[in-house]
Structure 1
Amino acid sequence: MVARVEVTPKAEEMIARLKALHGPLMFHQSGGCCDGSAPMCYPANEFRVGGQDVHLGQIAGCDFYIGAAQFEYWCHTQLIIDVVPGRGAGFSLEAPEGVRFLTRSRVFSDDEVAELEATERAA
Structure 2
Amino acid sequence: MDLIEHARAVRENAHAPYSKFKVGAAIKTASGAVFSGCNVENVAYPEGTCAEAGAIAAMCAAGEYEIAEIAVIADSPTPIPPCGGCRQKIAEFANAAVPVTLGTIAGETQVTSVSALLPGAFDASHMA
> Could you state the TM-score of these two structures normalised by the residue count of structure 2?
0.30
The higher relative CO (CA closer than 8 Å, separation ≥ 6) is in 1
